[in-house]
Structure 1
Protein backbone atom coordinates (compact mmCIF):
# COMPACT_ATOMS: atom_id res chain seq x y z
CA UNK A 1 0.00 0.00 0.00
CA UNK A 2 1.13 3.48 -0.87
CA UNK A 3 0.01 6.53 1.09
CA UNK A 4 0.18 9.70 -0.99
CA UNK A 5 -2.56 12.31 -1.16
CA UNK A 6 -1.00 13.96 -4.19
CA UNK A 7 -1.49 10.92 -6.46
CA UNK A 8 -5.28 11.11 -6.09
CA UNK A 9 -7.95 13.58 -7.04
CA UNK A 10 -9.66 15.26 -4.10
CA UNK A 11 -12.78 13.13 -4.50
CA UNK A 12 -10.86 9.85 -4.02
CA UNK A 13 -9.92 8.24 -0.69
CA UNK A 14 -8.01 5.55 -2.49
CA UNK A 15 -7.62 3.59 -5.69
CA UNK A 16 -6.39 0.15 -6.71
CA UNK A 17 -4.00 0.07 -9.62
CA UNK A 18 -2.67 -3.45 -9.76
CA UNK A 19 -0.60 -4.41 -7.82
CA UNK A 20 -0.85 -1.29 -5.65
CA UNK A 21 -3.47 0.28 -3.42
CA UNK A 22 -2.92 4.02 -3.17
CA UNK A 23 -4.43 5.70 -0.10
CA UNK A 24 -4.98 9.37 0.64
CA UNK A 25 -4.24 9.02 4.39
CA UNK A 26 -2.40 6.60 6.65
CA UNK A 27 -5.56 6.10 8.74
CA UNK A 28 -7.24 4.34 5.82
CA UNK A 29 -4.89 1.39 6.35
CA UNK A 30 -6.96 0.62 9.45
CA UNK A 31 -10.32 0.88 7.68
CA UNK A 32 -11.12 -2.81 7.24
CA UNK A 33 -14.08 -2.24 4.89
CA UNK A 34 -12.21 0.20 2.69
CA UNK A 35 -9.20 -2.11 2.36
CA UNK A 36 -11.48 -5.06 1.60
CA UNK A 37 -13.20 -2.96 -1.09
CA UNK A 38 -9.85 -2.24 -2.72
CA UNK A 39 -8.75 -5.88 -2.48
CA UNK A 40 -11.92 -6.88 -4.32
CA UNK A 41 -10.86 -4.52 -7.12
CA UNK A 42 -7.41 -6.12 -7.21
CA UNK A 43 -9.03 -9.54 -7.65
CA UNK A 44 -11.25 -8.19 -10.43
CA UNK A 45 -8.20 -6.75 -12.16
CA UNK A 46 -6.32 -10.06 -12.01
CA UNK A 47 -9.33 -11.98 -13.36
CA UNK A 48 -9.50 -9.73 -16.40
CA UNK A 49 -5.73 -9.70 -16.96
CA UNK A 50 -5.43 -6.11 -15.73
CA UNK A 51 -5.61 -3.98 -18.91
CA UNK A 52 -9.03 -5.32 -20.04
CA UNK A 53 -10.32 -4.46 -16.55
CA UNK A 54 -9.52 -0.77 -17.07
CA UNK A 55 -11.00 -0.76 -20.57
CA UNK A 56 -14.21 -2.43 -19.33
CA UNK A 57 -14.33 -0.08 -16.32
CA UNK A 58 -14.11 3.03 -18.54
CA UNK A 59 -16.59 1.74 -21.12
CA UNK A 60 -19.08 0.82 -18.43
CA UNK A 61 -18.57 4.19 -16.71
CA UNK A 62 -19.40 6.06 -19.93
CA UNK A 63 -22.39 3.80 -20.57
CA UNK A 64 -23.67 4.49 -17.03
CA UNK A 65 -22.99 8.20 -17.44
CA UNK A 66 -25.14 8.20 -20.58
CA UNK A 67 -27.76 6.16 -18.72
CA UNK A 68 -27.91 8.23 -15.49
CA UNK A 69 -26.60 11.64 -16.65
CA UNK A 70 -24.81 11.93 -13.29
CA UNK A 71 -21.12 11.21 -12.62
CA UNK A 72 -21.63 9.88 -9.10
CA UNK A 73 -24.52 7.59 -10.09
CA UNK A 74 -22.52 6.39 -13.07
CA UNK A 75 -19.58 5.50 -10.82
CA UNK A 76 -21.74 3.79 -8.16
CA UNK A 77 -23.44 1.63 -10.81
CA UNK A 78 -20.34 0.23 -12.48
CA UNK A 79 -20.54 -3.53 -11.93
CA UNK A 80 -17.06 -3.64 -10.35
CA UNK A 81 -18.06 -0.95 -7.86
CA UNK A 82 -21.42 -2.52 -7.11
CA UNK A 83 -19.72 -5.80 -6.23
CA UNK A 84 -17.07 -4.08 -4.09
CA UNK A 85 -19.55 -1.87 -2.22
CA UNK A 86 -22.04 -4.67 -1.52
CA UNK A 87 -19.38 -7.15 -0.38
CA UNK A 88 -16.80 -4.95 1.39
CA UNK A 89 -18.20 -5.69 4.86
CA UNK A 90 -17.72 -9.46 4.48
CA UNK A 91 -14.26 -10.26 5.82
CA UNK A 92 -14.10 -13.66 4.15
CA UNK A 93 -15.68 -12.62 0.85
CA UNK A 94 -12.54 -13.07 -1.25
CA UNK A 95 -12.01 -16.61 0.04
CA UNK A 96 -15.53 -17.63 -1.07
CA UNK A 97 -15.90 -15.37 -4.11
CA UNK A 98 -16.62 -17.08 -7.40
CA UNK A 99 -14.64 -16.32 -10.54
CA UNK A 100 -15.96 -13.23 -12.40
CA UNK A 101 -18.49 -12.60 -9.63
CA UNK A 102 -18.85 -8.99 -10.79
CA UNK A 103 -20.98 -10.23 -13.70
CA UNK A 104 -23.93 -10.71 -11.39
CA UNK A 105 -23.83 -6.95 -10.72
CA UNK A 106 -24.20 -5.87 -14.37
Structure 2
Protein backbone atom coordinates (compact mmCIF):
# COMPACT_ATOMS: atom_id res chain seq x y z
CA UNK A 1 0.00 0.00 0.00
CA UNK A 2 1.22 3.45 -0.95
CA UNK A 3 -0.31 6.55 0.63
CA UNK A 4 -0.39 9.71 -1.47
CA UNK A 5 -1.36 13.08 0.02
CA UNK A 6 -3.15 15.28 -2.50
CA UNK A 7 -5.90 17.84 -2.12
CA UNK A 8 -6.19 18.14 -5.87
CA UNK A 9 -6.88 14.48 -6.73
CA UNK A 10 -9.89 14.20 -4.41
CA UNK A 11 -13.20 15.98 -4.73
CA UNK A 12 -13.97 18.49 -1.98
CA UNK A 13 -16.20 16.17 0.05
CA UNK A 14 -13.78 13.24 -0.01
CA UNK A 15 -11.14 12.79 2.66
CA UNK A 16 -9.66 9.70 1.03
CA UNK A 17 -9.99 7.03 -1.61
CA UNK A 18 -8.44 3.61 -2.18
CA UNK A 19 -7.43 2.60 -5.69
CA UNK A 20 -5.23 -0.44 -5.44
CA UNK A 21 -2.37 -0.23 -4.49
CA UNK A 22 -2.76 3.42 -3.51
CA UNK A 23 -4.64 5.28 -0.81
CA UNK A 24 -5.15 8.93 -1.66
CA UNK A 25 -5.71 11.24 1.30
CA UNK A 26 -6.50 14.95 1.47
CA UNK A 27 -4.08 15.74 4.33
CA UNK A 28 -1.00 14.17 5.89
CA UNK A 29 -2.93 13.99 9.16
CA UNK A 30 -5.28 11.41 7.61
CA UNK A 31 -2.32 9.03 7.25
CA UNK A 32 -2.14 8.85 11.06
CA UNK A 33 -5.87 8.20 11.54
CA UNK A 34 -5.84 4.44 12.19
CA UNK A 35 -9.61 4.00 11.86
CA UNK A 36 -9.71 5.88 8.55
CA UNK A 37 -6.70 3.97 7.20
CA UNK A 38 -8.24 0.66 8.28
CA UNK A 39 -11.40 1.59 6.35
CA UNK A 40 -9.32 2.20 3.23
CA UNK A 41 -7.31 -1.03 3.75
CA UNK A 42 -10.60 -2.95 3.81
CA UNK A 43 -11.37 -1.45 0.40
CA UNK A 44 -7.94 -2.49 -0.89
CA UNK A 45 -8.65 -6.07 0.18
CA UNK A 46 -12.06 -5.98 -1.49
CA UNK A 47 -10.47 -4.71 -4.69
CA UNK A 48 -7.88 -7.49 -4.70
CA UNK A 49 -10.53 -10.15 -4.15
CA UNK A 50 -12.46 -8.97 -7.19
CA UNK A 51 -9.32 -8.40 -9.28
CA UNK A 52 -9.64 -4.60 -9.12
CA UNK A 53 -11.60 -3.64 -12.27
CA UNK A 54 -14.68 -5.77 -11.45
CA UNK A 55 -14.69 -4.15 -7.99
CA UNK A 56 -15.13 -0.69 -9.51
CA UNK A 57 -17.78 -1.89 -11.98
CA UNK A 58 -19.74 -3.52 -9.14
CA UNK A 59 -19.23 -0.42 -6.95
CA UNK A 60 -20.59 1.95 -9.62
CA UNK A 61 -23.56 -0.28 -10.50
CA UNK A 62 -24.48 -0.69 -6.85
CA UNK A 63 -24.18 3.06 -6.29
CA UNK A 64 -26.45 3.81 -9.27
CA UNK A 65 -29.07 1.28 -8.17
CA UNK A 66 -29.15 2.77 -4.67
CA UNK A 67 -29.16 6.34 -6.02
CA UNK A 68 -32.26 5.56 -8.10
CA UNK A 69 -33.80 3.85 -5.08
CA UNK A 70 -33.09 6.56 -2.48
CA UNK A 71 -32.74 9.63 -4.74
CA UNK A 72 -29.92 10.74 -2.48
CA UNK A 73 -26.19 10.38 -3.23
CA UNK A 74 -25.07 10.04 0.38
CA UNK A 75 -27.66 7.37 1.18
CA UNK A 76 -26.71 5.56 -2.03
CA UNK A 77 -23.02 5.68 -1.07
CA UNK A 78 -23.67 4.38 2.45
CA UNK A 79 -25.79 1.52 1.05
CA UNK A 80 -23.02 0.09 -1.14
CA UNK A 81 -22.05 -3.34 0.24
CA UNK A 82 -18.33 -2.48 0.17
CA UNK A 83 -18.96 0.64 2.23
CA UNK A 84 -21.23 -1.17 4.68
CA UNK A 85 -18.49 -3.70 5.40
CA UNK A 86 -15.79 -1.04 5.70
CA UNK A 87 -17.80 1.25 8.00
CA UNK A 88 -19.02 -1.60 10.20
CA UNK A 89 -15.49 -2.93 10.73
CA UNK A 90 -13.21 0.11 10.47
CA UNK A 91 -12.73 0.38 14.25
CA UNK A 92 -11.66 -3.26 14.53
CA UNK A 93 -7.97 -2.91 13.69
CA UNK A 94 -7.60 -6.71 13.59
CA UNK A 95 -10.52 -7.18 11.20
CA UNK A 96 -8.41 -7.89 8.13
CA UNK A 97 -6.54 -10.64 9.98
CA UNK A 98 -9.75 -12.56 10.64
CA UNK A 99 -11.85 -11.46 7.67
CA UNK A 100 -13.12 -14.26 5.45
CA UNK A 101 -12.75 -14.23 1.67
CA UNK A 102 -15.47 -12.17 -0.06
CA UNK A 103 -16.86 -11.08 3.30
CA UNK A 104 -18.60 -8.10 1.70
CA UNK A 105 -21.18 -10.48 0.17
CA UNK A 106 -23.13 -10.63 3.43
CA UNK A 107 -23.70 -6.85 3.13
CA UNK A 108 -25.33 -7.00 -0.33
Is 1:105 aligned to residue 91 of structure 2?
no
Alignment RMSD, CA only?
0.4
Alpha-carbon displacement from aligned partner over 1:62-100 (angstroms, at most 9, x marks no partner) = 000011110000000000000000000001000000000
Structure 2: give runs of 5+ residues left out of the alignment.
none
Aligned residue number for residue 10 of structure 1? 12
Q: Give the Cα–Cα distance (whole angstroms) in 1 for the partners of residues 12 and 82 of structure 2.
A: 21
**What pairs with 1:1-106 in structure 2 (closer than 5 Å)?**
1-106=3-108
| Count of residue pairs the alignment pairs up | 106
Q: What is the TM-score normalised by the length of structure 2?
A: 0.97
Superposition deviation, residue 35 in structure 1? 0.1
TM-score (norm 1): 0.99
